[in-house]
Amino acid sequence: MTNQFDRLLADPRVTFAGGVDVGGSGGGGACAPMPLPLSAVRSCFDAVILAHGAEGDASLSIPGAGLTGVLSARAFVLWSNGHPDADAERVGEAVASARSVVVVGAGNVALDCARLLLRPAVDLATTDIARDALAALDAGAASRRVSILARRGAPAAAFTAKELREVTRLPGVAVGVAPPALPPAPTDPGDAATLAGSRGRARVYGILAGLPVVGGENDENDPSTRPSLTFRFLRSPTAFLPSPTAPDRVGAVAVDATSVVGGRAVPDASAPPPPPLPADLVLVSVGFRTPPLAGAPFDEAACVVPSGPGGRVREDAHPPPSLAPLYITGWARRGPSGIIGTNLADADDVASAVAADAAALAGGAPRGGVASLPLPRGAPVTAAGWAAIDDAERVAGAAIGAPRVKLTTWEALMAVARRGG
Ligand code: NAP
């Protein structure tokens, strides 16, 4: 990823202006990015492409969501990446003491979380993971049990095959599926049709069906001290339950057995009620949400910026000629799904639309570009500042045999960026 940035920023036609908060969503504490109205950006350029993604979480409103030890997958990922907005103390403490972990949701983010929780620290040490996170993940990793909870069956799992295969090969980790065993091919005609219509889903199902069946409803009584990863299908969380010894902390997850009706998970009244799953850490990984960006249209129902072909943003009223048209790409255009390749294709589509519109876009009075942006104080982070951060992190990493050691506070990042120029 950083190599892509290097190539792009080396192009003399590209100007990087980091540390600017378009629309002013906040964050950053004392070193907060400079707020800038979208209208100000639109008046300085001939076209503006929004690519702001989905920085909010889809939430799970069930009792106990506020207990200590219940975290969003995003909070966990920000922390492990050393993001300066992470709540490092809270997440680090919860992870270091975690032995029984339930990850709610069966997508690639859930797999990413499980991989970090179970990957041996010696392997993680040679990655760019935040150093504090490494220590917390290592504590207790040798006997950590992770369950991935899926409200629908294996044919509906949202994993991709490559990512799933990687976690099934984690060294020293017992990976399995909770009973009942998955048949080599699903017996339900709807499930069979789903797999027949998607090579990706069929591959994922094949990997899951090849895993051993392990434990029972919960593996509390399993004497094994090996770390484990168990996929639990057709289980939907109904409440996070407090620990009997520390009532402000999570101790278990109450679940319903489910069946799938018309593609949706519904409680299965015919199944015996499953016992709660022990959990001293819960990661809620049920997808993301794009919040509205001030000054841009927003489709509240779909949580996206409404657009037509080529990502041309649909606006209720024609913008005045002083404001450049908007384009939208990525998760804020399509919703929070798709791997990097999906976003590449999306970006290509939007770039082609801008190129096709170029003659008309540049027809008015010349605009001032980056130099004319009304930034209130000082300079934003330049390409040189970005490179200075990159260099500082790499140098620190080289000293300990890691690709980089991340700077994890806004103060440290901004201080190094300012030294860079
Ligand atoms: P996702 O793929 O949409 O998966 C979300 C999961 O949460 C689904 O299993 C969904 O189940 C479940 N869920 C949603 N609401 C729920 C609820 N109320 N109760 C229980 N379960 C619920 O989302 P994601 O994992 O956050 O990933 C987002 C996108 O990023 C995906 O397209 C993913 O492939 C991509 N990604 C890719 C990579 C990679 O390529 N390495 C890494 C990370 C993420 P239902 O299906 O039943 O709704």
**Angstrom distance (rounded) from CA 92 to CA 228:** 21
Q: Which pLDDT score, from 0 to 100, does residue 315 have?
A: 94
Q: How would residue 420 be classed by pLDDT, with cut points 50, 70 and 90?
A: confident
Q: Which pLDDT score, from 0 to 100, does residue 253 have?
A: 98
Burial class (CB in 10 A: 0-12, 13-18, 19+), 110: buried
Q: Which pLDDT score, from 0 to 100, does residue 59 have?
A: 87
Q: Is 107 in the pocket of ligand 1 (CB under 6 A)?
A: yes
Of 63, 68, 61, give the one whose Cα is nearest residue 90: 68
Assess whether pLDDT exceeds 70 at residue 54: yes
**Cα of 336 from ligand 1 centre, angstroms:** 9
Q: Is 109 in the pocket of ligand 1 (CB under 6 A)?
A: yes
Assess whether pLDDT exceeds 60 at residue 165: yes
Q: Which pLDDT score, from 0 to 100, does residue 19 have?
A: 87
Q: Which pLDDT score, from 0 to 100, does residue 143 have?
A: 87
Specify whether the CB–CB gap between 155 and 186 falls below 8 A.
Answer: yes
**Angstrom distance (rounded) from CA 78 to CA 85:** 7
Specify whether the CB–CB gap between 291 and 140 falls below 8 A.
Answer: no
**Cα of 193 from ligand 1 centre, angstroms:** 21
Q: Which pLDDT score, from 0 to 100, does residue 116 have?
A: 96
pLDDT digits (tens, 9 = 90+) for 238-297: 999 999 999 999 999 999 999 998 889 999 999 999 999 999 999 999 999 999 999 999
Assess whether pLDDT exceeds 80 at residue 142: yes
Q: Is 158 in the pocket of ligand 1 (CB under 6 A)?
A: yes
Q: Which pLDDT score, from 0 to 100, does residue 376 have?
A: 64
Task: Tell me what the mean pLDDT of segment 6-28 comes to.
Answer: 85
Q: How would residue 141 be classed by pLDDT, with cut points 50, 70 and 90?
A: confident
Q: Is 108 in the pocket of ligand 1 (CB under 6 A)?
A: yes
Angle between helices 161-168 and 199-209 (to 10 degrees): 20
* Helix or strand (DSSP H, E) at 348: helix 340-361
Assess whether pLDDT exceeds 70 at residue 156: yes
Quick one: DSSP state of residue 376?
S
Of 353, 363, 357, 413, give the one whose Cα is nearest residue 388: 413
pLDDT digits (tens, 9 = 90+) for 300-320: 999 999 999 999 999 988 888
**Angstrom distance (rounded) from CA 68 to CA 85:** 19
Least confident of 8-12, 16-20, 41-45, 108-112: 16-20
Q: Is 335 in the pocket of ligand 1 (CB under 6 A)?
A: no
Written as six digits, the tokens of 190 are: 């709807």
pLDDT digits (tens, 9 = 90+) for 378-418: 568 999 999 999 999 999 999 999 999 999 999 999 999 99
**φ and ψ at residue 123, rounded to 5 degrees:** -70, -45
Q: Which amino acid is at 245?
A: T
Assess whether pLDDT exceeds 80 at residue 32: no
Q: What percent of the chain is predicted at pLDDT more than 90?
A: 77
Assess whether pLDDT exceeds 70 at residue 26: no
**Cα of 306 from ligand 1 centre, angstroms:** 22
Q: Which pLDDT score, from 0 to 100, does residue 220 have?
A: 55
- Furthest C-alpha separation in the chain: 75
Q: Which pLDDT score, from 0 to 100, does residue 363 have?
A: 80
DSSP per position, 108-164:
HHHHHHHHHHHS-HHHHTTTT--HHHHHHHHTTGGG-EEEEEESS-GGG-B--HHHH
Least confident of 25-34, 215-224, 314-323: 215-224
Specify whether the CB–CB gap between 16 and 382 falls below 8 A.
Answer: yes
More confident residue, 327 or 371: 327
Task: Tell me what the mean pLDDT of segment 194-209 comes to.
Answer: 96
Of 302, 282, 287, 236, give the one whose Cα is nearest residue 57: 287
CA 337 to ligand 1: nearest atom? 32
**Cα of 105 from ligand 1 centre, angstroms:** 6
Q: How would residue 364 be classed by pLDDT, with cut points 50, 70 and 90?
A: confident
**Angstrom distance (rounded) from CA 214 to CA 178:** 5
**Cα of 34 from ligand 1 centre, angstroms:** 32
**Cα of 337 from ligand 1 centre, angstroms:** 8
SS3 196: helix
SS3 75: helix
Q: What are the b/e assignments for 312-341, b being 16+ CB within 10 Å?
A: bbeeeeeeeeebbbbbbbbbbbbebeeeee
Q: Is 160 in the pocket of ligand 1 (CB under 6 A)?
A: yes
The chain-wide mean pLDDT, for the chain, equals 92
Assess whether pLDDT exceeds 80 at residue 144: yes
Written as six digits, the tokens of 324 are: 């450049």
Q: How would residue 13 be classed by pLDDT, with cut points 50, 70 and 90?
A: very high
